Amino acid sequence: MTLVNPVAGSSAATSKPTSALGKNFNSFVNILAAQIRNQNPLAPMDTHQFTNQLVQFSQVEEMMGLKESFGAISTQMSEANLMSAGQLIGKDVTFKSPTVRLEKGSAEISFNAGPGVAGVTATIKRNDGSVVRSLRMAASGGEGRMRWDGLDDRGRGVAEGVYKVEIQGRDASGNPVEVTANARATVTSVSRGGDGSISLSTTLGSVRFGDVVSFGTKS
């Protein structure tokens, strides 16, 4: 897609630049809003070009009196992101979080491991930091999952609820490999903060939209 250059030709005669720039700006706003509305929630478009365009438009903002228009485009972007996030309501999302919820004697622990990992150890803890259970499994790079049966290291059942999870990865030589702990929960609603940021309300609490790594139909 070819984007207009709002600055080019600004040194030319001034009989038409204001009207031309106004038309270009309106087209720019409409194109940006449409692309945001139709973007993949987990693969948002590259906004580098649009950011450059905004910088160029800002250079002529005083001449055109576009201050209110920039506020309008910010609102449109925020509303479009809110609509995009709304598609996740009722779906299960996997997001960056060092927590896991134990329900009906079972919990799924999700993680993303760096390349070269050979095995991971998940340490499940209570809020006070005391260790409940340590689980080990072989793993390879990328997303992985392990199941916790709700028992502690002595084979005793523990109370349902949310527990902390710490995951460590090792390569074949025993060297540490970076591993990120994830959690999985169902989205119940979405909201927009005063700064335009989008948050998801889930069965595990509030989650930043940007922390979601995958989603699917409710299990």
- Tell whether 9 is covered by a domain: no
Q: Give the number of other Cβ atoms within 10 Å of residue 3's Cβ.
A: 15
Residues 162 and 201 in one domain: no
Quote the pLDDT of residue 31.
73
* Region for residue 196 given its phi and psi (left: phi exceeds 0; alpha: psi -120 to 50; beta: otherwise): left
- As a whole number, the mean pLDDT across the chain is 79
Question: 75 is written with which tokens?
Answer: 């609102």
- Tell whether 10 is covered by a domain: no
Query: How far is residue 79's CA from residue 85's CA, in Å, rounded to a whole number?
Result: 10
Domain boundary (65, 86, 107) is at 86
Instruction: Check: CB of residue 150 under 8 Å from CB of residue 96.
Output: no
- Tell whether 12 is covered by a domain: no
- Tell whether 164 is covered by a domain: yes
Residue type, 11: S
- Tell whether 2 is covered by a domain: no
For residue 138, what are the β-bridge partners?
A: 119
Residues 67 and 130 in one domain: no
Residues 142 and 118 in one domain: yes
Range of the structural domain that residue 167 is part of = 96-184
Query: How far is residue 62's CA from residue 36's CA, in Å, rounded to a whole number?
Result: 27
Query: How far is residue 18's CA from residue 188's CA, in Å, rounded to a whole number?
Result: 47
- Tell whether 147 is covered by a domain: yes
Quote the pLDDT of residue 107.
92
- Tell whether 3 is covered by a domain: no
Residues 100 and 179 in one domain: yes
Q: Calculate mean pLDDT across residues 108-126.
A: 93
Its pTM stands at 0.57
Quote the pLDDT of residue 158.
97
Domain boundary (86, 114, 129) is at 86
Alpha helices in 65-184 (DSSP H): 67-86
- Tell whether 5 is covered by a domain: no
**Residues 135-163: pLDDT tens digits?**
999 998 888 999 999 999 999 999 999 99
Quote the pLDDT of residue 218.
58
CATH number at residue 104: 2.60.40.4070
Residues 150 and 179 in one domain: yes
Residue 132 banded pLDDT, cuts 50, 70, 90: very high
Could you tell me the CA-to-CA distances from 86 to 15, 30, 74, 154 in Å, in that order?
45, 21, 18, 43
Query: How far is residue 123's CA from residue 61's CA, in Å, rounded to a whole number?
Result: 55
**For 42-46, 189-193, 209-213, which range has the lowest pLDDT when averaged over its residues?**
42-46
Split into its structural domains, the chain has a count of 3
Residue 65 has pLDDT above 80, yes or no: no
